[in-house]
């Protein structure tokens, strides 16, 4: 009776995930899974994590100093998301806990969705569908549901990481768009050429974009990056698309700008305080609303779950995390 054989690391999977991934993790660890998808309070989460070595999380669990203080054994938190604003990264590092995310595997899928939301918003797809289903379609009319052009227009991208670059490539190569971007750091010339994207100031981006897509990570500095003053700089014909995080946009200010037609339309996959949506947004026709699904294709969600699992297996197996967010 070897103690080595019995000392399997213990992990908690905080939300329902693919049964195959639970199974794979069970081959390496003692697993407490949440396949019933119960939503735990922070205290319930802390109680379940108290005796665990690792956690499989999603963006819906906050991992902060208070939680970590209650989990002395915890060594790794593997987030099934590329964004990790649900982590207090400094607190993880202070507690000596490894955090990981799921970059790369979702880039193209998320860029596809960003583009789909842009097109749905500019061409008023949701409004048109409601109109038809509501039996309002009686005849052709010259201005019926007329929207904005996508081809040959100016695509602005705020946040030019992997996903931003994917959207730029789609716009430039697929739709002949004039692509401009702003980012904390400018891309190198080769990457700019690949994306056919031109670096501009944030002010120029706001003023010039016909379609502005937000793809930046959410940090304290990114809070309300787009509020009333920024919306006022945009063209009245412009569309705004947010596939990044709620909180980057001041939703109340956006609803007001849309109501007054200070910008034409918005497509939003993420919201401040989601799954709650600002009631003023729900009342507007010129906004397309989706429930945080930009990475949601079956293969990509599976790849994200596999990468989070691989991080747990590698790290708790003594081989180091594959995609660390702190070192
Ligand atoms: C991400 O990967 O950050 C998404 O928002 C979660 O699906």
Which DSSP category does 288 fall into? Answer: E
Rounded Cα distance, 122 and 141, in Å: 19
pLDDT digit string (tens) for 235-257? 999 999 999 999 999 999 999 99
Residues 66 and 100 in one domain: yes
Q: Which token pair is 12? A: 């908690």
Q: How many domains does the chain have?
A: 2
User: How does pLDDT run across 136-172, given as a tens digit for each residue?
Assistant: 999 999 999 999 999 999 999 999 999 999 999 999 9
Rg over alpha carbons for the chain, rounded to the nearest Å, is 22
pLDDT tops 60 at residue 268: yes
Query: Which residue, by CA, sits nearest to atom 4 of ligand 1?
Result: 81
Beta 10-13 vs 54-57: how paired, if at all? parallel
- Residue 76's domain is classified under what CATH number? 3.40.50.720
Ligand 1 centroid from CA 90, angstroms: 20
Same domain, 303 and 263: no
DSSP 277: -
* Residue 15 clears pLDDT 70, i.e. is over it: yes
- Residue 300 · residue 106 · CB < 8 Å: yes
| Bridging pattern class, strands 239-242 and 211-214 | parallel
pLDDT in tens, 178-225: 999 999 999 999 999 999 999 999 999 999 999 999 999 999 999 999
CA angle (190 as vertex; 189, 194 as ends), nearest 5:
115
Distance 101 CA to ligand 1 centre (A): 9
Range of the domain at 41: 3-105+298-316
Residue 274 a catalytic site member: yes
Q: Residue 194: which residues within 8 A CB-CB, separation 6 or more?
A: 165, 169
Q: How confident is the model at residue 3 (pLDDT cuts 50, 70, 90)?
A: low
Q: Length of the chain, please?
A: 327
* Residue 112 and residue 100 share a domain: no
For residues 154 and 18, state if they share a domain: no
Same domain for 193 and 253?
Answer: yes
Same domain, 153 and 262: yes
List the catalytic residue out of 245, 272, 278, 301: 245
Q: Are residues 43 and 123 in the same domain?
A: no
322 contacts: CB under 8 Å, gap ≥ 6: 100, 307, 310, 311, 314
In a domain, 69, yes or no: yes
Predicted-complex ipTM score: 0.95
């Amino acid at each position: 009776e070897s103690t080595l054989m019995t000392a399997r690391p213990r992990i908690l999977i905080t939300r329902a995930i693919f049964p195959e991934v639970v199974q794979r993790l069970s081959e390496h660890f003692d697993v407490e899974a949440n396949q019933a998808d119960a939503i735990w309070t922070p205290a319930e989460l802390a109680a379940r994590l108290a005796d665990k070595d690792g956690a499989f999380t999603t963006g819906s669990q906050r991992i902060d100093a208070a939680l970590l203080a209650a989990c002395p054994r915890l060594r790794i938190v593997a987030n099934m998301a590329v964004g990790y604003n649900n982590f207090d990264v400094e607190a993880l590092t202070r507690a000596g806990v490894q955090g990981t995310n799921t970059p790369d595997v979702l880039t193209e899928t998320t860029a596809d969705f960003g583009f789909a939301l842009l097109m749905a918003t500019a061409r008023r797809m949701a409004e048109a569908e409601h109109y038809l289903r509501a039996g309002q379609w009686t005849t052709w009319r010259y201005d019926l549901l007329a929207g904005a052009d996508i081809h040959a227009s100016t695509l602005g991208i705020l946040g030019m990481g992997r996903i931003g670059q994917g959207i730029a490539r789609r716009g430039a190569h697929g739709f002949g768009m004039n692509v401009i971007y702003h980012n904390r750091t400018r891309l190198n010339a080769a990457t700019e050429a690949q994306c056919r994207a031109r670096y501009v100031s944030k002010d120029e981006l706001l003023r010039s974009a016909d379609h502005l897509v937000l793809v930046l990570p959410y940090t304290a500095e990114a809070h309300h990056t787009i509020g009333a003053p920024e919306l006022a700089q945009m063209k009245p014909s412009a569309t705004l698309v947010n596939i990044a995080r709620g909180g980057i946009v001041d939703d109340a200010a956006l609803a007001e700008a849309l109501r007054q037609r200070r910008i034409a339309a918005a497509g939003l996959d993420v919201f401040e305080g989601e799954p709650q949506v600002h009631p003023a947004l729900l009342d507007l026709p010129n906004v397309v609303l989706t429930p945080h699904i930009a990475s949601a294709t079956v293969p990509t969600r599976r790849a994200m779950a596999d990468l989070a699992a691989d991080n747990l297996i590698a790290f708790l197996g003594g081989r180091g995390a594959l995609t660390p967010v702190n070192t």
